[in-house]
Amino acid sequence: MLLTRHAKERLVKRLAKRRKLERVYSALWEFLERSKRIDVNDKVVIFTDGQKSLVCVRLECERLPLEEIRHRVEKIKRPYECVFLDGRLARETVPRKFVELIPEGEYCFYINQEKRSLYIGSEGPLLAITLRPAKRKEREC
């Protein structure tokens, strides 16, 4: 899961209490573990724990073997916000160093060079839009 700037600020304010990237993502994963997933439609997904709701949209990704992912990120010199969903790993680092930490296999791959974010995982990526109070129907679910 990738975060918009707004979602990251909301997570820091409501859950993580610190701006360090690892703290934000660990608080996010703890929230997701205790939350229920609601598929609103084919694009929007909401995770709710009855008090707060995380609104996300699905992103388009490619399914690639790790060797192809290495080839695509080898020329990137600037640090990116890198997320490996399966290993619960999130770091701000150069992508080629980050890919070295990932075991061999075939993964969903998403990169946004404008926002400098990279996602690798067995499931398709989600982009967290906001963290808000749960609506009544979300509290009852």
Q: What are the tens digits of pLDDT across the range 109-136?
A: 999 999 999 999 999 999 999 999 999 8
pLDDT in tens, 19-66: 898 899 999 999 999 999 999 999 999 999 999 999 999 999 999 999
C-alpha–C-alpha distance, residues 37 and 107, integer Å: 22
Residue with tokens 């680092």: 93
pTM exceeding the 0.75 threshold for the entire prediction: yes
C-alpha–C-alpha distance, residues 53 and 131, integer Å: 6
Domains of the chain are 1-59+125-141 (3.30.2310), 61-123 (no CATH)
* Total Cβ atoms within 10 A of residue 117: 21
C-alpha–C-alpha distance, residues 54 and 33, integer Å: 12
- How many helices and strands, by DSSP H and E, does the chain display? 5, 10
